[in-house]
Amino acid sequence: MAGQSEGAKPMKLPKFDYACPATIEQAVALLAGADGTARPISGGQSLMPMLAFRLLQPSLLVDLRHVPGLATITINNDGVHLGAKVRWCDIETSAALKVAHPILTAAVRYIAHHQIRTRGTIGGSIAHADPAAEMPCVAVLCDAEIEIVGSAGKRKIPATSFFKGPLMTALQPDELITGIRFLAWPAGRRWAFEEFARRRGDFALAGIGVFFDVRDDKATNVHIAAFGVGDTPLRLANAEAALNNRPLTDAVIKGCCQAAREAVDPRDNTHGSSAYRRGLVDYLLGESLRRLTVNSSKACANAH
Amino acid sequence: MRTDVELNGKIFSFEVEPRTTLADCLRYNAKLTGTHVSCAHGFCGACTVIVDGQPVRSCLMLAVQANQSSVLTIEGISNDDDLTPLQKSFRKCHAVQCGFCSPGILMSAHALLTSEPDADEDRVREVVSGHLCRCTGYIPIVQAILEARPAYKKQRSELP
């Protein structure tokens, strides 16, 4: 049966053209040919709401669904490589990834809902750069590397310099994210990823990620990041310094949380005041660190 | 733009603008109005359908992105004039009040129990958390899904 185009229909989205290239080269050429007005789309779980609200009115959407080789999870001694089209549900259901990089799995469980995680992709979330999104924070926390291809060829950008502001990144209009590379995750590493939202799946009012390696009863290689409390995910250097090379005593944890609280300056919004959200960073980090003082890897795994 | 979809087991060919969402294509082109649209930006879950075996928000997917895909809607899980065990369970547990959110929840539940017929209450709650219902308070919905599990287990055990 042939469906017919109807006359009067609700049209929520702005008008755009659509292309479905078969190769990454074609995709880049289509983006480059549109003079900055084209957007790539894959899962579309952030882009479609942007279109529905008409915050974006692209001339062309370049669908990556037929571009091969971007949906692979690779785990080896160097670490983890996630193709840009790896979906949240792929990460959630990968038993190997849960062992190789457990904080990725833990963070994904906070992302939106089951019915969105079936389509949303890691590349899309990184490119969208919502300040309250989980995966940009994980990338910044873990010093991940963003792999990009554009008309001028390939390049890599550290996640720590990729996010420029709310929904703003270092990506050029003719560039695409092809993958994200995470360094290897040592087995004994202690970590936590926590956020607070009013309901499951809502944007976080504040969230934190933390990891460190224990050497001689001291926390070393401390990484701490916060999200939902600034224009981009934030690495909290002063909080890291307050914990690095120190034992996890109550006083040290308190100092670390104090440094974290002072490092963030969230805006007031309808769901919480700036002071409340700053307090959340302090609370989530403090609770996480106190849990991580328990000297057993099992307790650590049970952080989630 | 031509979009070919296997919809509820039959092949359809739709002519749609690229900006047409899958939800609007189902309702206006295929005339299948069982898929409800409420917020139209991915928040409420009312428009959930099953695409290639996975529950998705049909308002967050372009119809052209479903080209060559298999789509299952609420019309496709009903048995002609009879209700499916899942639907019967919803009726028995009084998990439907105004009914606006029901098709989306039924599709999520159908996808869940098809792949995980042993899903426990936590898992069911996690999946249902992707849907807004302003009538029931969710408890009867969770109960109805849990009570439909034996039917899906039986179905699965009868597969060749």
Using the predicted structure, report yes or no on whether residue A40 has a pLDDT greater than 90. Answer: yes
pLDDT at A5 over 70: no
Phi first, then psi: give them for residue A248, nearest 5 degrees.
-85, 65
To which H or E segment does residue A274 belong?
Answer: helix A274-292
Asked if B1 lies within 8 A of A5 by C-beta distance, the reply is no
Q: Using alpha carbons only, how large is chain B's radius of gyration in Å?
A: 15
Domain B85-157 - what CATH class?
mainly alpha
Q: How many CA atoms are closer than 13 Å to the CA of B123, on its beta-carbon side?
A: 14
Q: What is the pLDDT of residues A256-280, one digit of tens each?
A: 999 999 999 999 988 899 999 999 9
Q: Is residue A9 part of a domain?
A: no
Same domain for A179 and A80 = yes
| Among B30, B40, B56, beta carbon nearest to A12 | B40
Question: Residue A198 falls within a domain, yes or no?
Answer: yes
Per CATH, the homologous superfamily of domain B2-77 is Beta-grasp domain (3.10.20.30)
Read off the tokens for B132.
Answer: 């807004």
Residues A120 and A150 in one domain: yes
Predicted pLDDT at B42: 92
How many CA atoms does the CB half-sphere of B48 hold within 13 Å? 34
Q: Using only C-alpha atoms, what is the Rg of chain A?
A: 20
What CATH number does the domain containing A265 carry? Answer: 3.30.390.50
Query: Which of A183, A210, A240 corresponds to the end of one domain?
Result: A183
The token pair at B22 is 């899958």
The ranges assigned to domains in chain B are 2-77, 85-157
Q: What confidence tens digit (pLDDT) does each residue in A85-114 have? A: 999 999 999 999 999 999 999 999 999 999
Query: Which stretches within chain B are classed as H helix?
Result: 22-24, 74-77, 85-92, 102-115, 121-128, 139-147, 149-157
Cβ–Cβ below 8 Å for A1 and B12: yes
- In this prediction the pTM is 0.94
How far apart CA A239 and CA A268 sit, in angstroms, is: 23
Q: How far is B61 from chain A (nearest CA, A)?
A: 7
- What does the pLDDT read at residue A301? 45
A240-255 mean pLDDT:
97
Residue A176, both tokens: 């695409």
Residue A11 falls inside a structural domain: no
**A178 and A202 together in one domain:** no
**What digits encode the pLDDT tens for the residues A171-221?**
999 999 999 999 999 999 999 999 999 888 888 999 999 999 999 999 999
* CB contact (8 A) between residue A48 and residue B108: no
Domain with residue A55: its CATH number is 3.30.43.10
Domain assignment of residue A103, yes or no: yes
A179 and A200 within one domain: no
* Final residue belonging to a domain, choices A63, A84, A118: A63
CB within 8 Å: A65 and B14: no
Separation of alpha carbons B153 and B158, rounded Å: 9
In a domain, residue A5? The reply is: no
CB contact under 8 A, B1 and A18: yes
**Using 50, 70 and 90 to split pLDDT, how confident is the model at A13?**
very high
Q: What are phi and psi of A246, to 5 degrees?
A: -130, 155
A78: CATH: 3.30.465.10
Interface test with A, best of B62, B108, B122, B132 (most A CBs within 10 A): B62
A113 part of a folded domain: yes
Buried b (16+ CB within 10 A) or exposed e, A96-125: ebeebbbbbbbbbebbbbbbbbbbbbbbbb
The band of A4, judged by pLDDT with boundaries at 50, 70 and 90, is very low
φ and ψ at residue A259, rounded to 5 degrees: -65, -40
> Which of A63, A89, A121 lies at the terminal end of a domain, its last residue?
A63
Q: Are A114 and A38 in a shared domain? A: no
Contact residues on chain B for A65, CB-CB shorter than 8 A: 65
pLDDT in the model for residue A295? 54
Q: Are residues A97 and A161 in the same domain?
A: yes
Specify if A2 maps to a domain: no
In a domain, A170, yes or no: yes
CA distance readout (Å), A192 to A207, A292, B26: 11, 8, 43
Q: Tell me the residue type at A253.
A: I
Residue A6 has pLDDT above 60, yes or no: no
Tell me the chain B residues in contact with residue A63 when contact means C-beta distances shorter than 8 Å: 62, 64-65
| Owning domain of residue A140 | 73-183
Q: Are residues A95 and A42 in the same domain?
A: no
Tens of pLDDT, residue by residue, chain B (160 residues): 999 999 999 999 999 999 999 999 999 999 999 999 999 999 999 999 999 999 999 999 999 999 999 999 999 998 778 899 999 999 999 999 999 999 999 999 999 999 999 999 999 999 999 999 999 999 999 999 999 999 999 988 887 7
- Compute the distance between CA of residue A79 and CA of residue B18 in angstroms, rounded to an integer: 39
- For residue A149, give the nearest of A79, A46, A70, A88 by alpha carbon: A70
User: Domain count of chain A?
Assistant: 3
